[in-house]
């Protein structure tokens, strides 16, 4: 099994350079491959974007899942055998992929204006349109707990997450320094607006790791977005960081008694990009323009609690399509939730992620 | 003597034999050719490519040629002069136009964190600048006034580099070009290699201790019983690796079957559930179970060939049962032990999925780091270097085994 896996990797690596293995993709103009993160999130996209798009244009959409990162995009581009058209990526990957020439530039003029005529570039929130990418949602890393485990009142602030005395029990955290360092500093009393200033100094990094040290022995590390709701449901952890949409989905679709704590949420964007040399570039551009219009973004928010990247979509959001819950208050961007929000600083992470990943891994192992 | 032996049709026998042999050889070669080509394309070539990737470094030479040329005579003790800055401006603008600047920036950033934004930011501005450049660069980012920045660019100039291998053993060049350890908080790979070795040894020894009695029992039972038991060894072997790993999570997690049983029977208190998985010991437990068949099968096949009469002979000559077993039986199983251990150890040292799923924070192995650099950080050079070191390690072990035991004595079945 393992040998087989290894060989597959090698074959992949070999094919990459050879280009000989690369089967030419059948570039049927009437289909489009859209790659996203799977689970409840992909479902929201299929319902809000894919189905209406196919209905309107007749172009079939093949939905594929991946777990983030640019590795596969890079492999496809370097092998000259691009099979993916549109990919849903995080902001840091959208910028980095664009810098490294892995993505097609997207001309923002293809994006339709808001219903009231506001041009797209003004309608999208800050940073949502970049050279190669158009954002669809705002998502957030928050922490959540199971109300059943805290009958006398649960945690309220980020500091509570790091307070093992007041709220004993295991903690779930994503196995990466990103968002964890920000949360640690916020818990240590750094105001949200100053988090990255502090993190930019060596003393600040030490301070964040020192704060993480206080709960290190109680942490269960997760990697895939589907894990934290499971950890909570199994009672493996008392509280866990998670993507807000996944927790909401567990509440809405599975009736779990989870509660989200929005204090010091770290929010980020997901964007659509087109892989360089995509077989159906024209259709891909059409799809992105279609999917990120005002109505479509509002529609998606009725399937999962991620905020739309257009300001004009906000008033159009209604109730959850299946559970009938009013979606507005569950959005990361809702006023009550947004007070202490920290925006993920792409520049900071692009510069420091290799170094901080090393430090984080070294910290974990010792 | 003078008369030559010939075949019926008059050809010299020697020649006829040789040509018959040749056809046979050609046929043999043709028969193995598909396999050989397959192995070459899918195995040897990619490995060679991987090793090449671990030392190749074309980006800086390709996209910063002018800067590198002016840096040739740089003393390394003061900030370069205007001429270098002008060359830098040209290189950056050109690399930005060809959309390659991100690759250059990323490569430099692997070496000196923070340089990515220095490069991309300066490249964005440099297009609008008029000479002289030096002041403008220094104003834009203070990093241009640091020797380390320039030392990094110069160091990455050559198209063949050792920095990946240095990084893979927690080392780097300092400003003066000396090899030094990276900061204490950032060391990871040496410990990880050691831990990988150590965990593989533990898994191998556990497999041997558990597998030897099983194989012995299988080999000494009558065939109809042993066949049934053999199924028990083979069933898990045929079951998906992921399924088996996930079942261990179900069994061992703190709310899992084992902990539940211990709480129910009163061995431990509900508040003191034991952390059995998501750590090193969980990885060792799961890996031992998964690799056990690779130990049992070679052992069994070797034990099967040891005639029971040997033991009877030893006993009839007066040896105690135990002594006979230890002095006669065990040495005969050594080829199987060697094969099993080698197989399990080599599989264990490159294990990936199980540690990734149940390793938690201290049960990770070097292959998880390789996967991380392949998939997340996209530092394929470093991943290749880590893989290269692992490969050399395995080859050394194999060589050692050959020296000590002899590869011809290896019996897999």
pLDDT digits (tens, 9 = 90+) for B375-388: 888 889 999 999 99
Q: Establish if B195 touches chain A: CB-CB under 8 angstroms.
A: yes
- Please report which confidence band the pLDDT of residue A180 belongs to, taking 50, 70 and 90 as the band edges: very high
pLDDT tens for residues B245-301? 989 988 998 888 999 999 999 888 887 888 888 888 899 999 999 999 999 999 999
Nearest CB among A10, A175, A357 relative to B43 is that of A10
For a pLDDT cut of 90, what percent of chain A falls above it? 54
Q: What is the pLDDT of residue A29?
A: 60
The band of A365, judged by pLDDT with boundaries at 50, 70 and 90, is confident
Judge whether B182 lies within some domain.
Answer: no
Closest chain A C-alpha to B328 CA, distance in angstroms: 35
Residue A295 has pLDDT above 90, yes or no: yes
Q: What pLDDT, on a 0 to 100 scale, did the predictor assign at position A144?
A: 95
- pLDDT tens, residue by residue, A222-268: 888 888 999 999 888 999 999 999 899 898 888 889 999 999 999 99
Structure tokens at B269: 């208190």
pLDDT confidence of residue A23: 40
A13/B255 touch (CB, cutoff 8 Å), yes or no: no
Q: What is the mean pLDDT of residues B133-150?
A: 90
Q: Is B166 within the bounds of a domain?
A: no
Q: Evaluate if residue B115 carries a pLDDT over 80.
A: yes
Are residues B4 and B80 part of one domain?
Answer: no
Q: Indicate whether B18 and B133 sit together in one domain.
A: no
- Residue B120 and residue B23 share a domain: no
Tally the C-alpha atoms within 13 A of residue B3's C-alpha that lie toward its C-beta: 4
Taking residues A101-125, what's their average pLDDT?
91
User: Do B141 and B199 fall into the same domain?
Assistant: no
CB pairs under 8 A between A and B: 121
Tell me whether residues B106 and A2 touch, CB distance under 8 A.
Answer: no
In whole angstroms, give the CA distance from residue A69 to residue A256. Answer: 30
Q: Encoding tokens for residue A216?
A: 């290190």
At residue B410, does pLDDT exceed 80? Answer: no
Q: How many CA atoms lie within 13 A of A295 on its CB side?
A: 6
How many Å lie between the alpha carbon of B49 and the closest alpha carbon of chain A? 7
Write out pLDDT tens, residues B37-49: 999 999 999 999 9
Q: pTM for the full model? A: 0.81
Specify if B382 maps to a domain. Answer: yes
| pLDDT per residue as tens digits for the range A310-350 | 988 888 888 887 777 888 888 888 888 888 999 998 888 88
**Which pLDDT band holds residue A137 (cuts at 50, 70, 90)?**
very high
Same domain, B39 and B130: no
Query: Among A203-217, A316-330, B102-116, B295-309, where is mean pLDDT lowest?
Result: A316-330
The verdict on residue B386 lying in a domain is yes
Domain boundaries, chain A: 25-138+269-328, 140-267+340-365
Same domain, B304 and B340: yes
Question: Both B100 and B247 in a single domain?
Answer: no
Which of B46, B109, B241 is the closest to A354 by Cβ?
B109
Token output for B312: 């009877």
Cβ-based neighbour number of residue A239 at 10 Å: 27
Give me the torsion for CA of A227, A228, A229, A235, rounded to 10°: 110
Using a pLDDT cut of 70, give the percent of chain B over it: 98
> A213 contacts in B (CB within 8 Å)?
none
> B 33-62 residues with CB below 8 A of A?
41-43, 45-47, 49-50
Structure tokens at A330: 């569950």
Q: Do B127 and B266 sit in the same domain of this protein? A: no
| pLDDT averaged over every residue in chain B | 89
* Domain assignment of residue B90, given as a range: 58-161
Tell me what pLDDT residue A327 has. Answer: 85
Q: Are residues B10 and B140 in the same domain?
A: no
Residue range A141-155: mean pLDDT, rounded: 90
Q: Inter-chain contact A236–B114, Cβ cutoff 8 Å?
A: no
Does A321 or A272 have the greater pLDDT score?
Answer: A272
Query: Closest to A362 (Cβ–Cβ): which among B109, B185, B278?
Result: B185
Subunit contact A236:B350, Cβ cutoff 8 A: no
User: Does some domain include residue B170?
Assistant: no
Matching CATH topology for A25-138+269-328 and A140-267+340-365? Answer: yes
**Per residue in A223-236, is it b (16+ CB within 10 Å) or e — as a string?**
eebbbbbbbbeeeb
With CB atoms and an 8 Å threshold, state whether A234 touches B99.
no
CB contact under 8 A, A361 and B369: yes
Which 281-340 residues of chain B touch chain A by CB within 8 A? none
In the predicted model, is pLDDT for residue B147 greater than 70?
A: yes
B154/B44 same-domain check: no
Residue A3 has pLDDT above 60, yes or no: no
Total number of domains in chain B = 3
Band of the pLDDT at A7, cuts 50, 70, 90?
very low
Query: What digits encode the pLDDT tens for the residues B325-377?
Result: 999 999 999 889 988 999 899 999 999 889 988 887 788 899 999 998 988 88
Choosing among B95, B102, B275, which should be mutated to test the A contact, i.e. which has the most A CBs within 10 A? B102
pLDDT at A282: 93
Q: How far is A341 from chain B (nearest CA, A)?
A: 25
Strands A86-90 and A31-36: parallel
Q: What is the pLDDT of residues A67-81, one digit of tens each?
A: 888 889 999 998 899
The CATH number assigned to the domain holding B279 equals 1.10.3720.10
Asked if the Cβ–Cβ distance from A220 to B360 is below 8 Å, we say: yes
DSSP assignment of A127-167 equals T-EETTEEEEEEEEEEEEEEGGG-TT----SHHHHT-TTTS
DSSP letter for B277, please: S
Q: Is B378 exposed, middle or buried (0-12, 13-18, 19+ CB in 10 A)?
A: buried
My answer on whether B94 and B21 are in the same domain is: no
Predicted local distance difference test score (pLDDT) of residue A88 = 96
Question: Does residue B106 have a pLDDT over 80?
Answer: yes
Q: Residue B74's pLDDT is what?
A: 86
Residue A153 dihedral angles phi and psi, to the nearest 5°: 100, 130
A11 contact residues in B (CB cutoff 8 A): 42, 46
How many angstroms separate the CA atoms of A144 and B23, rounded? Answer: 74
Q: Same domain, yes or no, for B148 and B222?
A: no
Q: Do B253 and A351 touch (CB under 8 A)?
A: no
Q: Which residue has the higher pLDDT, A325 or B239?
A: B239
ipTM of the complex: 0.76
User: Could you say which DSSP state residue A23 is in?
Assistant: P
pLDDT at B384: 96
Question: What was the pLDDT predicted at B387?
Answer: 95
- In CATH terms, the fold of domain A140-267+340-365 is D-Maltodextrin-Binding Protein; domain 2 (3.40.190)
> Do B310 and B329 touch, CB atoms closer than 8 A?
yes
CATH of domain A25-138+269-328: 3.40.190.10
């Amino acid at each position: 099994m393992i040998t087989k896996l290894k060989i597959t990797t090698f074959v992949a690596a070999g094919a990459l350079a050879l280009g000989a293995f690369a089967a030419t993709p059948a570039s049927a103009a009437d289909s489009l491959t859209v790659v996203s993160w799977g689970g409840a999130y992909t479902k929201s996209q299929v319902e809000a974007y894919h189905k209406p798009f196919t209905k309107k244009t007749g172009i079939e959409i093949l939905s594929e899942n991946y777990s983030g990162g640019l590795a596969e995009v890079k492999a496809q581009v370097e092998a000259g055998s691009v099979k993916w058209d549109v990919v849903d990526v995080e902001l840091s990957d959208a910028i980095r992929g664009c810098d490294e020439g892995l993505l097609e530039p997207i001309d923002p003029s293809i994006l339709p204006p808001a219903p009231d005529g506001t041009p797209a570039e003004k309608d999208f929130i800050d940073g949502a349109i970049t050279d190669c990418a158009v954002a669809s949602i705002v998502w957030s890393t928050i922490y959540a707990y199971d109300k059943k485990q805290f009958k006398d009142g649960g945690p309220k602030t980020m500091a509570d997450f790091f307070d093992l005395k007041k709220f004993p029990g295991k903690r779930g955290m994503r196995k990466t320094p990103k968002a964890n360092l920000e949360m640690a500093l916020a818990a240590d009393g750094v105001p949200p607006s100053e988090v990255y200033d502090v993190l930019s100094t060596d003393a600040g990094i030490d301070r964040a790791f020192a704060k993480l040290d206080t709960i290190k022995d109680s942490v269960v590390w997760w990697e895939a977005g589907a894990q934290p709701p499971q950890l909570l449901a199994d009672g493996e952890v008392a509280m866990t960081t998670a993507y807000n949409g996944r927790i909401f989905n567990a509440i809405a679709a599975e009736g779990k008694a989870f509660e989200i704590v929005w204090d010091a949420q770290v929010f980020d964007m997901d964007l659509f990009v087109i892989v360089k040399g995509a077989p159906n570039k024209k259709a891909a551009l059409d799809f992105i323009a279609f999917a990120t219009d005002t109505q479509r973004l509002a529609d998606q928010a009725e399937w999962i609690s991620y905020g739309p990247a257009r300001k004009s979509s906000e008033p159009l959001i209604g109730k959850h399509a299946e559970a009938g819950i009013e979606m507005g208050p569950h959005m990361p961007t809702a006023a009550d939730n947004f007070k202490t929000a920290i925006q993920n600083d792409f520049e900071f992470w692009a510069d420091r992620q290799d170094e901080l990943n090393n430090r984080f891994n070294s910290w974990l192992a010792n | 003597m003078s008369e030559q032996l010939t075949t019926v049709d008059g050809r010299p026998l020697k020649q006829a034999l040789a040509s018959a042999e040749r056809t046979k050889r050609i046929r043999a070669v043709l028969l193995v050719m598909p396999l050989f080509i397959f192995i070459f394309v899918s195995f040897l070539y990619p490995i060679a490519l991987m090793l090449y990737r671990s030392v190749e470094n074309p980006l800086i030479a390709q996209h910063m040629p002018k800067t590198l040329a002016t840096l040739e005579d740089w003393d390394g003790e003061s900030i370069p002069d205007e001429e270098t800055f002008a060359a830098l401006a040209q290189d950056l603008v050109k690399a930005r136009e060809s959309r390659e600047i991100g690759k250059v920036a990323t490569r430099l950033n692997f070496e000196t964190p923070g340089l990515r934004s220095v490069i991309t930011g300066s490249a964005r501005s440099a297009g609008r600048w008029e000479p002289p450049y030096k002041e403008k660069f220094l104003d834009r980012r203070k990093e241009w006034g640091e020797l380390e920045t320039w030392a990094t660019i110069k160091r990455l100039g050559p198209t063949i580099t050792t920095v990946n291998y240095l990084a893979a053993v927690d080392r780097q060049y300092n400003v003066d070009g000396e090899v030094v350890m990276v900061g204490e908080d950032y060391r990871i790979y040496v410990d990880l290699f050691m831990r990988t070795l150590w965990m593989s040894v533990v898994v191998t020894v556990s497999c041997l201790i558990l597998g030897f009695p099983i194989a012995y029992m299988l080999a000494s039972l009558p065939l109809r019983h042993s066949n049934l038991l053999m199924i028990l060894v083979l069933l898990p072997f045929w079951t998906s690796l992921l399924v088996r790993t996930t079942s261990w999570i179900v069994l061992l997690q703190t709310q899992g079957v084992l902990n539940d049983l211990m709480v129910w029977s009163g061995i431990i208190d509900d508040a003191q559930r034991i952390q059995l998985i998501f750590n090193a010991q969980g990885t060792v437990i799961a890996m031992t179970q998964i690799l056990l068949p690779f130990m049992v099968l070679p052992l069994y096949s070797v034990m099967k060939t040891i005639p029971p009469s040997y033991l009877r002979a030893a006993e009839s000559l007066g040896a105690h049962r135990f002594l006979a077993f230890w002095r006669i039986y065990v040495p005969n199983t050594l080829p199987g032990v060697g094969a099993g251990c080698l197989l399990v150890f080599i599989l264990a040292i490159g294990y990936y999925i199980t540690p990734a799923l149940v390793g938690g924070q201290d049960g990770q192995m070097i292959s998880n780091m390789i996967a991380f650099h392949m998939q997340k950080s996209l530092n394929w050079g470093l991943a290749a270097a880590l893989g290269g070191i692992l490969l050399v390690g395995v080859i050394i072990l194999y060589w050692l085994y050959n020296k000590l035991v002899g590869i011809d004595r290896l019996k897999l079945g």
